[in-house]
Structure 1
Amino acid sequence: MHSQSKLTLPQLIESITPLDNQAMRQAAANIDGLLKPPGSLGRLETLAIQLAGMRGVSGHQVERKQIIVMAADHGVYAEEVTITPQAVTAIQAANMVKGITGVCVLAATANTEVKVVDVGIDSEPLPGVVNMRVRRGSGNIVREAAMTRQQAKDLLCASAQLTIEQAAGGVKVFGVGELGMANTTPAAAIISVITDRDPHQVVGIGANFPSDRLHHKVAVVREAIAFNQPDARDGLDVLSK
Structure 2
Amino acid sequence: MNPHAAVKPLDEAARAAALARQAQLTKPAGSLGRLEEIAIQLAAMQGTLLPRIHHPWISIFAADHGVADEGVSAFPQAVTQQMLANFVGGGAAISVLARETGATLEVIDVGTLAPSPVAGVVQAQVRRSTANFCRQPAMSAAQAQAALDAGATACARARTAGADLFIGGEMGIANTTAAAALACALLGLPGAALAGAGTGVDHAGVARKAALIDRALALHGLASAPTDSLHALCAVGGFEIGALAGAYLAAAQAGMPVLVDGFICGAAALLAVRLNPGARDWMLFAHASAESGHAALLRALDAQPLLALDMRLGEASGAAAAIPLLRLACALHAGMATFAEAGVANNA
Distance in 2 between residues matched to 1:36 and 1:207, nearest whole Å? 44
- Per the alignment, residue 32 of structure 2 pairs with 41
- Per the alignment, residue 5 of structure 1 pairs with none
Distance apart, 1:115 and its partner CA: 1.2
CA contact (8 A) 1:24 1:50 kept: yes
Cα root mean square deviation, aligned: 1.7
- Per the alignment, residue 142 of structure 1 pairs with 134
Equivalent of 2:174 in 163, 178, 182: 182
* AA matched with 2:57: Q
- Per the alignment, residue 102 of structure 2 pairs with 111
- Per the alignment, residue 79 of structure 1 pairs with 70
Structure 1 residue runs without a partner (length 5+): 1-7
Matches within 5 A, 1:62-211: 62-123=53-114, 124-211=116-203
Per the alignment, do residues 25 and 130 of structure 1 end up closer, same or farther by CA in structure 2, a change over 3 Å counting?
Answer: same
Distance in 2 between residues matched to 1:107 and 1:189, nearest whole Å? 30
Tell whether 2:227 aligns with 1:233. Answer: yes
* AA matched with 1:239: L
Identity of aligned residues (%): 37
Tell whether 2:49 aligns with 1:55. Answer: no
Q: List per-residue Cα deviations over 1:14-65 (Å, max 9, x = no partner).
A: 3521211112122223334333333233333323322222222232222211
3-state SS, counterpart of residue 162 of structure 1: helix
Per the alignment, do residues 136 and 202 of structure 1 end up closer, same or farther by CA in structure 2, a change over 3 Å counting?
Answer: same
Structure 2 residue runs without a partner (length 5+): 236-348
Q: List per-residue Cα deviations over 1:73-113 (Å, max 9, x = no partner).
A: 11100000011011111111111111211112122222212
* AA matched with 1:38: A
Distance in 2 between residues matched to 1:67 and 1:17, nearest whole Å? 21
Q: List per-residue Cα deviations over 1:176-197 (Å, max 9, x = no partner).
A: 1111111110111111111111
More deviation in 156-165 or 73-82?
156-165
Structure 2-normalised TM-score? 0.63
Distance in 2 between residues matched to 1:238 and 1:15, nearest whole Å? 22
Distance in 2 between residues matched to 1:221 and 1:238, nearest whole Å? 12
Paired residues in the alignment total: 232
Structure 1-normalised TM-score? 0.89
Per the alignment, do residues 106 and 38 of structure 1 end up closer, same or farther by CA in structure 2, a change over 3 Å counting?
Answer: farther
CA contact (8 A) 2:58 2:105 kept: yes
Distance in 1 between residues matched to 2:211 and 2:80, nearest whole Å? 24
Distance in 1 between residues matched to 2:194 and 2:5, nearest whole Å? 33
Distance in 1 between residues matched to 2:99 and 2:27, nearest whole Å? 29
3-state SS, counterpart of residue 53 of structure 1: helix
* AA matched with 1:67: I
- Per the alignment, residue 3 of structure 1 pairs with none
CA contact (8 A) 1:69 1:115 kept: yes
Distance apart, 1:199 and its partner CA: 1.1
Distance in 2 between residues matched to 1:66 and 1:235, nearest whole Å? 27
3-state SS, counterpart of residue 13 of structure 1: coil
Q: List per-residue Cα deviations over 1:99-153 (Å, max 9, x = no partner).
A: 2111121222222122111111111221111111110011111011111112111
Distance in 2 between residues matched to 1:104 and 1:159, nearest whole Å? 20
Tell whether 2:215 aligns with 1:215. Answer: no
Per the alignment, do residues 36 and 98 of structure 1 end up closer, same or farther by CA in structure 2, a change over 3 Å counting?
Answer: farther
3-state SS, counterpart of residue 206 of structure 1: coil
3-state SS, counterpart of residue 35 of structure 2: helix
Distance in 2 between residues matched to 1:132 and 1:15, nearest whole Å? 25
Q: List per-residue Cα deviations over 1:203-239 (Å, max 9, x = no partner).
A: 1111111123321111111111111224743221111
